[in-house]
Amino acid sequence: PHFIIELPEKNDALCFNINDKPGTIFTLIKDTKSGVVVNGQTIGDKKIPPDGKINTYFWRFGITHKTLRVKLEVSTSDINVFQDSKWMTMYWSNSISLKGTNMDLHVTKDRSLTVTLKDSVKFVILLHKVWAKHPYHQDYLGFYTVDSHLLSPAVHGLLGQFYHGVEYEVSELRPGEVPEKPDATMYVKGHELNVTRGWQRDFRQDIKNGENVPCWFVHSNGTGLIDGDASDYVVSSLF
């Protein structure tokens, strides 16, 4: 999966990929103060593609809000909501709007789920539908936080650690391997990293093609940019 961190104060964005074996569960958000946790499990291609590159994507998210006593399990096939001590299942094939005391949900048929958790976070999960008979690829999900400012300064996770910004500087722009993607040196969190200017896609407006977002790409699973390394974010279960 590719991660994008938009940084409005710098009018810039950072990006990195996290790759591990399919089935790994990562913590994306963990805010112990508000009790919000978002974990995601990856999936691989149906078989190894001819280029030998193993691609992984998120296919299942587990979302918990301890204080609000809410849980969601969102996968490429269905959406399960735990609220008021009971589970309810919804399907991507219907457009649904639910307004609750602590949580609002809105499903746009076969496309997206918008979740607003009271006084904490708002996010969108996109469903990428792939042709069922595709020899390699299968359905996967995207996770976009659109409002996270109410989360505590202690929020962490692969995405969460960036919700309150990150200090960095980029200099020494130089030609990269590909002419249209120059390299540069980034000073961040006490590290000096070789980064590459490129872009990643935001699929919210155009689910099929996406929209390119220019960003500084941090190589090797975001090493140096994320706190610790990717394995520090691996957990054993969605909840």
Site residues for other proteins per CB under 8 A: 1-12, 28, 40, 55, 57-58, 126, 128, 140, 142-148, 158-159, 162-163, 170, 173, 175, 179-182, 197-203, 205-206, 209, 211-212, 214
Considering Cα of 203, then 204, then 207, then 208, what sign does the dihedral take?
A: negative
Helices vs. strands in the chain: H and E counts, helices first:
1, 18
Q: How far is the CB of 234 from other proteins (least distance, A)?
A: 15
The residue among 83 and 193 lying less far from other proteins, judged by its C-beta, is 193
Helix extents (H) in 18-137: none
Contact 147, 122 (CB under 8 A): yes
The token duo for 174 is 């130089």
Q: How far is the CB of 127 from other proteins (least distance, A)?
A: 11
Cα 125 to Cα 113, 193, 197: the distances in Å are: 5, 31, 26
Residue 156 amino acid letter:
H
Q: How far is the CB of 13 from other proteins (least distance, A)?
A: 9
Helix, strand, coil content of the chain in percent (nearest 5):
5, 55, 40
The residue among 83 and 200 lying less far from other proteins, judged by its C-beta, is 200
Beta bridge partners of 237: none
The residue among 45 and 83 lying less far from other proteins, judged by its C-beta, is 45
**CA–CA separation, 239 vs 228, rounded Å?**
22
Q: How far is the CB of 88 from other proteins (least distance, A)?
A: 26
The residue among 119 and 206 lying less far from other proteins, judged by its C-beta, is 206
The residue among 12 and 20 lying less far from other proteins, judged by its C-beta, is 12
CB-side neighbour CA atoms (13 Å) of 103 = 22
Q: How far is the CB of 91 from other proteins (least distance, A)?
A: 21
Q: How far is the CB of 163 from other proteins (least distance, A)?
A: 7
The residue among 7 and 96 lying less far from other proteins, judged by its C-beta, is 7
